[in-house]
A and B are shown apart, each in its own frame.
Chain A
Amino acid sequence: MIGFKRDSKKDEEDGGGNPFQNLEKTTVLQEARTFNETPVNPRKCTQILTKILYILNQGEILGTVEATDTFFAMTKLFQSHDVILRRMVYLGIKELAPIAKDLFIVTSSLTTDMTGRENLYRAAAIRALCSITDGNTLQQSIERYMKQAIVDRNAAVSSAALVSSLHMTRFAGEVVKRWVNEAQEAINTDSIMVQYHALGVLYHIRKTDRLAVTKLVAKLTKSTMKSPYALCMLIRITCRLIEEDDVGTNSKLFEFVQSCLRHKSEMVIYEAAHAIVNMKKTGARELAPAVSVLQLFCSSSKPTLRFAAVRTLNKVAMTHPAAVTACNLDLESLITDANRSVATLAITTLLKTGAESSVDRLMKQISSFVSEISDEFKIVVVKAIRALCLKFPRKHSVLMNFLSAMLRDEGGLEYKASIADTIITIIEENPEAKETGLAHLCEFIEDCEHTSLAVRILHLLGKEGPRTKQPSRYIRFIYNRVILENAPVRAAAVSALAQFGALCADLLPNVKVLLARCQMDTDDEVRDRATYYSVILNCNDAVLNNRFIVENTHLSLPTLEKSLHQYTMQPSETPFDARTVPVAAISPSEEARLAAAEEISTKPKTAIATMTREETYAEKLRNIPQLAALGSPFHSSPAVDLTESETEYLVKCVKHVYERHLVFQFICTNTLNDQLLENVHVHLDPLPEGFVVAANIPCQRLPYGEAQSCFTVLTFPDVLAISVGSFGAVMKFSTKDCDPATGLPDSDDSYDDEYMLEDLDVSVADQMQKVAKANFAASWDEAGDENELEDVFALTSMQTLDEAVKNIIQFLGMQPCERSDRVQEGKSSHTLLLSGVFRGNHDVLVRAKLALSEGVTMQLAVRCSDPEVSELVTNSVG
């Protein structure tokens, strides 16, 4: 007896695990034969069904035959009236529905169950039935029953029918549409759940019909619905309507949403507040009640409500910071919330809305809990601080101290990088903060285990350090790196040292000594750089310094790689000419980064494409033999639409500029599915004077829906002054009628046709590549005033300096230097510095002095190695 007890105890301990752990598919299916026994043993069969469901959910895959056999065995279980077993059978049918065949055999049995007296069966039977029907059987046999079920008095049945019909809209939308009246009736029931589901079905049926949705909403907003879920959904639908119709905030719809703010249920109140806050066109007046509701939620005892409220407020803070300031007190009390997510959101919201005076206090509070939160939240906080710095430049010292303290803490690369980013942004935006920021960064690299960050900071030191008041203090930090760090950091440090040598004459001897020491380094790259820089610095030539140390080369790296590869493949006597490689466009990533800095978001940044537009095009052009002969394109413009967006044929044009040639790439799309276009080409007429069509590469076949390209190659006129102009264009092709389904032509008959396109313009910007100059003044002096052209223009159409600057940059297609594209507020004059490379590798520098006086007056000075280019640039502006 004692032994037995012990055994049973042991069993209990062992049996604590999963009883279905070691199931095998074949054994379970074998066991399913029990289903055929008469009379049915419900207990046993239920267990076997459970096993089958278990293995299916574990990812076991049944073959069609196996599944069908099991399914037919299961059908025998309909003879038992055991409730539990029957419900398991429904589940089994639903699970096997996608695999087994001939499922419809249980249709009648299920319809009997769903119309029967046993309420426990009905809802489940409806769900099972809908999972096995297809559009066909649906129509003939069960439609009537479904209609009845939707208006059934039993809430579970009605809900099951509604939800199932929602699922069925996927394959039998037309049939479900006929159940509108029943759904309409169901919406008037008392049951909370049914009302919600009925509204879902009704909206789904009508959502393609705007008028019907408007009517639905108008009707429902008048009647008061009991279900909070349905009301939430109605609010969402209403908001969509408001956004689509673009009605003002005075409309009935908006009034409804506002009235929901006074609802009993917290869910509805929140939904309404959330909706109002997220509407695009809400003003401060409409926002106020919503925000005050959220404010109430902030002090709620439920953490979910607090979280929801803070999260929404956080979003509002981006668009309407003023509205949120009212809640600042409540938010501040949330900083100490036990829930870290709520606290972090509260902090970031406060940082966005906070006044200048409260910054100090906030920073104190943040530092108290910053060590407790995870890296991701820390990044969020850092981003918020960055926004704050941009907003209150005067507070930089407090923030900078805080950031440097955070830098010293433990943290991952991403966290550290985001802090470094922030400091760098502050340095760039705020000249006052430069010195302290650089000092903090210097301190940071003293003990930085992330090579990539150290390299970045060293590069920044090289760029900014020489222009500070006391450049000498940075030398020590940089040279420490040379002594202590690994090879990539040493190499970066050497480059940074050279910058100091080139720009600060008094430090030059010291730098020379240091570089000479670096030539003893163990690493090749470091030695090479040191040798290179010391040779240049020893020449004592300012022009050389400027060109090879201060300015970076802007060759497009993928193209350079391709060209070098080609060069090594074909041995030739002539040395490789780097000038044949086009310069790289300034990638928009920098601007994107700055834009991202302004809005704080927890979303990850989208990956920046590694290839620029030019390089991807160049890759494609190289594959076309006729164009490969022209070399690499110098500049490719973005695609321009030559047709309206909803016409028979869509044509886009990309202009590729080569040194002496101009290639138009016409990307054509055929939107007619009953036509096959052949021999598509674009005829240019009229041509501006001097342009000659050199070649025409037609597109042989243009089937429906595909985008194909045809090309026209032109030679530029020899005289630069007439290299801009406007082209007329006509697309010519022969059409064949074809079968829309297969795309095969009906017959060989074809007829020629043509299609007018919009005119094409070639401007200066198309022939210009953006290049940044780090030291504009040096380059300006270097270019000399021999080829300078100067002129004064009155830009009467411009109202502000900002607008003028943007227009000039866009018109000339050049890169603004030294941040001169940003006009300081409240100033009446501004100097814009632009640089670029003109086709044929002519450096172009432009200095535009702008003054605001009833329109904008501009004094434009252009310097270029080629006088013709200067003339072209000046003329084109006028």
Chain B
Amino acid sequence: MGLLTKLMAILGFNRREVNVLVVGLNNSGKSTLVNQLKPDEQRATEIVPTVGFNVEKFNNKNVGFTAFDMAGQGRYRELWEHHYKDCQGIIFVVDSSDGLRLVVARDELEALLDHQHIRSKRHLPILVFANKMDVRGALSAVQVSASLGLEKISNKPWHICASNAMTGEGLQEGIEWLTNQIRQSVMLEENS
């Protein structure tokens, strides 16, 4: 980690391209969240329920993210698995104001972690956004983490942060964590 590396980073030589998968139940705010991450001039003004998936791109700290924003509606969820194979990170979005469906979210998360393509990737970082934190009566990040059973994930790095996708609050923190994790996991992969 010397001068050279820093110089390279500044000049954008070791710029990386990664694919991340954005999943979660319907109406949890995935598309809004991804929209918020994009540069100002590319943002859409109106967000409609996604059918299938959307591809969006954004940058963070010299890492180019390609986000596959998957549809969250029940009948489209089985399509997620087609994208598991080649993603370097997963963003799981939870509507923290919707206590009722947290169990459903937990089921989906468990099914995701249990999938063969996910299990085999030991360093795949999982970022959970406890979205809609501004809504009155929303659960806190700790409560969400407990009800999703995140502490049981032992073989993968994970992180939860409360967010508000409408204003962008909390997003930057989460994405920065993800960027670091991906850098590390890619480096690990290259070393091994």
Return the chain A residue nearest B55 by Cβ: A78
Using CB atoms, name the residue of chain B closest to A141.
B51
Judging by beta carbons under 8 Å apart, are A105 and B86 in contact?
Answer: no
From A36, A38, A76, A108, contact of B54 by CB (8 A)? A108
Bound-state Cα–Cα, A105 to B81, Å:
12
A646 to B18, CA, bound (A): 70
- Please determine whether A38 and B55 come into contact, CB atoms closer than 8 angstroms: no
Q: Tell yes or no: B145 within 8 A of A by CB.
A: no
Expressed in whole angstroms, the minimum distance between the Cβ of A129 and any Cβ of chain B is 11
Q: How far is the CA of A106 from the CA of B48 in the complex (A)?
A: 15
Instruction: Determine which of B17, B19, B57, B76 lies in contact with A105 in the assembled complex, contact meaning CB atoms within 8 Å.
Output: B76
Q: Are B17 and A109 in contact (CB under 8 A)?
A: no
B71 touches A79 (CB 8 A): no
Residues of B within 8 A of A137 (CB): 51
Asked if A825 is an interface residue, CB under 8 A from chain B, the answer is no
A36 with B85: in contact, given A79-B55, A141-B51 (CB under 8 Å)? yes
Write out the residue numbers on chain A whose beta carbons fall within 8 Å of the beta carbon of B51.
Answer: 104-105, 107-108, 111, 137, 141
A112 touches B54 (CB 8 A): yes
Complex alpha-carbon distance, A148 and B54, angstroms: 20
CB distance from B65 to the nearest CB of A (A): 10
Evaluate whether A108 and B18 lie within 8 angstroms (CB atoms) in the complex, with A38-B66, A38-B86, A79-B55 already known.
Answer: no
- Is B174's CB within 8 Å of the partner chain A? no
Closest B residue, CB atoms, query A36: B86
- When distances are taken between beta carbons in the complex, the residues of chain B under 8 Å from A377 are none
Known interface pairs A39-B17, A79-B66; A106-B52 also in contact (CB < 8 Å): yes
Complex-state Cα separation, A141 to B53, whole angstroms:
13
Chain B residues whose CB sits within 8 angstroms of the CB of A111 once the complex forms: 51
Sample of 8 more A-B contacts, CB < 8 Å, known A106-B52, A141-B51: A38-B17, A76-B83, A79-B66, A105-B71, A105-B82, A108-B51, A108-B53, A111-B51
**What sequence of 0s and 1s flags, for each residue 72-98 of chain A, a beta carbon within 8 Å of any chain B beta carbon?**
100110110000000000000000000
Closest to A106 in B: B52
Q: Does B79 contact A (CB under 8 A)?
A: yes
> In angstroms, how far is the closest chain A Cβ from the Cβ of B179?
15
B50 at the binding interface (Cβ < 8 Å)? yes
Bound CA–CA A106/B57 (angstroms): 17
CA distance A112 to B55 in the complex (A): 9
Interface residues of A in 84-140 (CB under 8 A from B): 102, 104-109, 111-112, 137
* B53 near A75: Cβ-Cβ < 8 Å: yes
Q: Across the interface, name the chain A residue whose C-beta is closest to B52.
A: A105
Q: How many angstroms from the CA of A417 to the CA of B71 in the assembled complex?
A: 72
Q: A72–B19 Cα gap in the complex (Å)? A: 15
- Please count the residue pairs between chain A and chain B whose beta carbons lie under 8 angstroms apart in the complex: 54
Contact of A102 among B18, B54, B79, B85 (CB under 8 A): B79
The answer to whether B86 touches A104 (Cβ under 8 A) is no
Return 7 A-B CB contacts under 8 Å, by A number: A79-B66, A104-B51, A105-B82, A107-B51, A108-B52, A108-B54, A109-B54
Cβ of B103 to closest chain A Cβ, rounded Å? 26
Binding site for B on A (CB under 8 A): 36-39, 72, 75-76, 78-79, 102, 104-109, 111-112, 137, 141
Please, how many angstroms separate the alpha-carbon atoms of A112 and B18 in the complex? Answer: 22
- 3 closest A-B pairs (Cβ-Cβ)? A105-B52, A107-B51, A39-B17
In the complex, are the beta carbons of A107 and B52 less than 8 A apart? yes
Chain B interface residue count, CB cutoff 8 Å, equals 23
Q: Which residues from A are CB-within-8-Å of B82?
A: 72, 75, 105
* Chain B proximity of A93: nearest CB distance (Å): 11
- Residue ID in chain B nearest A145 by CB atoms: B48
Tell whether A105 pairs with B55 under 8 Å between CB atoms, given A38-B19, A38-B86: no
- With both beta carbons as reference points, the residue of chain B lying nearest to A112 in the complex is identified as B54
Q: B88 to nearest A CB, angstroms?
A: 8
A-chain residues with CB within 8 Å of residue B86 when the two chains form the complex:
36-38, 76
Give A69's nearest chain B residue, CB to CB: B82
CB distance from B79 to the nearest CB of A (A): 5
Complex: A78 Cα to B82 Cα, angstroms: 14
Per DSSP, are chain B's interface residues mostly helix, strand or loop, or mixed? Answer: mixed
B32-66 contacts to A, CB under 8 A, are: 48-55, 57, 64, 66
Residues of B within 8 A of A37 (CB): 86
B18→A105 contact, CB < 8 A: no
Residue among A72, A75, A104, A105 facing the most chain B CB atoms (10 A cut-off):
A105
Q: Which residue of B lies closest to A144 (CB)?
A: B48
A105 touches B54 (CB 8 A): no
A108 B50 Cβ-Cβ under 8 A: yes
B91 nearest CB across to chain A (Å): 16
Known: A36-B85, A141-B51. A108 touches B17 (CB 8 A): no
- Bound: A52/B109 CA distance, A: 36
**Residues in A neighbouring B66, C-beta threshold 8 A:** 38, 79
- Residues in chain B near residue A36, CB distance under 8 A: 85-86
In the bound complex, do residue B55 and residue A109 qualify as a contact, i.e. CB atoms below 8 Å apart? yes
Task: Return chain A residues, CB-CB under 8 Å to B85.
Answer: 36
In the complex, residue of chain A having the shortest beta-carbon distance to the beta carbon of B15: A39
Query: What residues of A have a CB within 8 angstroms of the CB of B50 in the complex?
Result: 108
Chain A residues lying within 8 Å of B68, measured Cβ to Cβ, are 79
B-side contacts of A106, CB under 8 Å: 52-53
B56 to chain A, nearest CB (A): 9
A35 to chain B, nearest CB (A): 9
Q: Closest chain A residue to B42 by CB distance?
A: A117
Q: What A residues does B71 contact at CB under 8 A?
A: 105, 108
Q: How far is the CB of B155 from chain A (nearest CB, A)?
A: 23
Query: How far, in whole Å, are A112 and B38 apart by their CA atoms in the complex?
Result: 15
Least distance between B86 CB and chain A CB atoms (Å): 4
**Nearest CB of A to B52, in Å:** 4
**Most chain B CB inside 10 Å of its own CB: which residue of A38, A78, A102, A111:** A38
Q: Is there contact, CB below 8 Å, between A79 and B19?
A: yes
Q: How far is the CA of A104 from the CA of B82 in the complex (A)?
A: 14
| Residues on the A chain within 8 Å of B64, using CB | 39
A78 to B68, CA, bound (A): 10
Please give me the residue from chain A that is nearest to B79 by CB atom: A105
Q: In angstroms, how far is the closest chain B Cβ from the Cβ of A329? A: 67
Considering only CB atoms, which chain A residue lies closest to B75 in the complex?
A104
Q: Across the two chains, which residue of chain B brings its CB closest to A72?
A: B82
Contact with A along B72-98 (1 / 0, CB 8 A): 000010010011011010000000000
- CB of B69 to closest CB in A, whole Å: 8
Bound Cα distance from A76 to B66, whole angstroms: 10
- A3 shortest CB reach to chain B, Å: 40
Asked if A38 contacts B18 (CB within 8 A), the reply is yes
A109 touching B57, Cβ below 8 Å = no
> Measured between alpha carbons, how far is A83 from B83 in the docked complex, in Å?
23
Min CB–CB distance A758 → chain B (angstroms): 59
CB neighbours of A112 from chain B (8 A): 54
* CB-CB under 8 A for A109 and B53, given A36-B86, A38-B19: yes
Residue of A nearest to B44 (CB): A112
CB distance from A670 to the nearest CB of B (A): 44
Cβ-defined contact, A109 with B52, below 8 A: yes
A105→B19 CA distance, assembly (Å):
18
Write the chain A residue with the least CB distance to B49.
A141
Interface centre among B17, B76, B82 (most CB of A within 10 A): B82
In angstroms, how far is the closest chain B Cβ from the Cβ of A487?
A: 76
Separation of A141 and B52 alpha carbons in the complex (Å): 11
B186 nearest CB across to chain A (Å): 11
Bound-complex Cα distance A106 to B55 (A): 10
Across-interface contacts of A108 in B (CB, < 8 A): 50-54, 71
* A36 to B117 alpha-carbon distance, docked (Å): 14
CB distance from B81 to the nearest CB of A (A): 10
| Residues on A with beta carbons closer than 8 Å to the beta carbon of B48 | 141
The residue in chain B whose Cβ has the minimal distance to the Cβ of A81 is B57
> A102 vs B88: C-alpha distance in the bound complex, in angstroms?
24
In the complex, chain B residues whose CB is within 8 Å of the CB of A102 = 79
CA A102 to CA B17, docked complex, whole Å: 27
CB distance from A191 to the nearest CB of B (A): 28
Query: What separation, in Å, do the CA atoms of A76 and B84 have in the docked complex?
Result: 12
CB neighbours (8 Å) of A141 from chain B are 48-49, 51
Least CB distance, B23 to chain A, in whole angstroms: 13
One digit per residue, 1 when the CB lies within 8 angstroms of any chain A CB and 0 when it does not, for chain B 6-27 equals 0000000000011100000000
